Structure 1
């Protein structure tokens, strides 16, 4: 302690001590970095081979910090899935509140679904989950509940908003959401999973969203009055 510090302390002024390096990120920001790193680690290496130390390294944090925020590998997997789906759900919910026509809004909602479901890393992750589900049933259940079911629920909620506005009529919004989502993503997802085609480009996603929205909203049956007209012309 130098002479000035000593005088200040004797006069009752608290002695200042260094507090160390200030925290540069909040815990929430750090978790977001960890989840992003975990998504890459799990999709590339699978659940069993994924290394917590490598996740920490990818995220630029210490292993000690990672374990302080997320105590187990399963918790890391669940948090990673939940974080991604939370962002998806918030976007879909916002899309239900805009003033666009229902066809354009549905196309936008489907494009948002594609960003989640048809993402190359997400498809790779699903392939790994299916391969490892016998050894690690918890990860399959986590993905089913936190990702698949919440995705359908978010789209069903969106359809429910449109129904309450009088734009569409459905008996069961959840069943309709499942059918719509299946029509939109099933084939391109399987094409990638089985190695037959690459992931859809942005233009291909937009075209598929437009076609699926039109088919869902209008169907493909020829109107009865047009059938009569065609019969009369024949």
Structure 2
């Protein structure tokens, strides 16, 4: 028969390890992305966000003044991590075609990321009631993606690998060509987002169109 443990013996006690604000923000961002995508911006309360993240509302308000500030920070954080892949290829010693494919693939991965598309769908639904929501999504999403690609293109112009009159306009055109049609089909038509293989094929086609054009040589 097992002997009972001495009454003085107990489980070690102590305060749980303190989580840093950065770790807490990451947990809140993950919970917010899911909640906003499923419930929508208007229907998601700060109290529900705090519960989903496992933090107190006091902690949530200490980190973010309000729901709009949380949405803005969440978008900036998500897009910052995704956009970093574009910068990795800016100064690489690769040929222009390989480099452009890598840069466009990074932009397509961002624009066609299921969470980003879900956020964009939610922003479109809520933009009439919350115009700042759309403005912030554009500022931290669409505009930053184009800026990152324009920065990459500007390096290639300085290397004299391509010639462009307006780098910023070209960046917007490229992103539109590689991502806008499948993005619109998913948001408005309920069409499934393209597979990785389909995205890579689209990027390859867009790269060839941009660098070589499509007019027949005999023309």
TM-score after normalising by structure 2: 0.87
Q: 2:195 aligns with which of 185, 198, 201?
A: 201
Q: 2:17 aligns with which of 22, 27, 30?
A: 22
The structure-2 alpha-carbon separation of the partners of 1:114 and 1:58, relative to structure 1 and needing over 3 Å to count, comes to farther
- The structure with the largest helix share of the pair is 1
Separation in 1, partners of 2:16, 2:120: 41
The structure-2 alpha-carbon separation of the partners of 1:124 and 1:218, relative to structure 1 and needing over 3 Å to count, comes to same
Q: 1:112 aligns with which of 106, 117, 132?
A: 106
Separation in 2, partners of 1:196, 1:128: 14
Q: 1:48 aligns with which of 42, 52, 65?
A: 42
Secondary structure at 1:194 match in 2: helix
Q: Is the 8 A contact 1:43 1:122 kept in 2?
A: no
Per-residue CA shift, 1:53-78, capped at 9, x if unaligned?
Answer: 33333333333322221120000000
Secondary structure at 1:96 match in 2: coil
- Structure 2: gaps spanning 5 or more residues: 1-12
Per-residue CA shift, 1:43-98, capped at 9, x if unaligned?
Answer: 11111011323333333333332222112000000001111121133221112122
Separation in 1, partners of 2:97, 2:27: 36
1:19 is displaced (CA, Å) by: 8.3
Q: Is the 8 A contact 1:31 1:69 kept in 2?
A: yes
Separation in 1, partners of 2:14, 2:69: 32
Q: Compute the RMSD of aligned alpha carbons.
A: 1.9
Secondary structure at 1:100 match in 2: coil
Q: 2:215 aligns with which of 212, 221, 226?
A: 221
What residue is the counterpart of 2:70 in the other structure? 76
Q: Radius of gyration: which is bigger?
A: 1
Separation in 1, partners of 2:162, 2:51: 49
The structure-2 alpha-carbon separation of the partners of 1:179 and 1:220, relative to structure 1 and needing over 3 Å to count, comes to same
What residue is the counterpart of 1:139 in the other structure? 133
- Structure 1: gaps spanning 5 or more residues: 1-17, 229-234
Q: Is the 8 A contact 2:182 2:194 kept in 1?
A: yes
1:131 is displaced (CA, Å) by: 1.8
Q: Is the 8 A contact 2:150 2:171 kept in 1?
A: yes
Residue 51 of structure 2 corresponds to residue 57 of structure 1 = yes
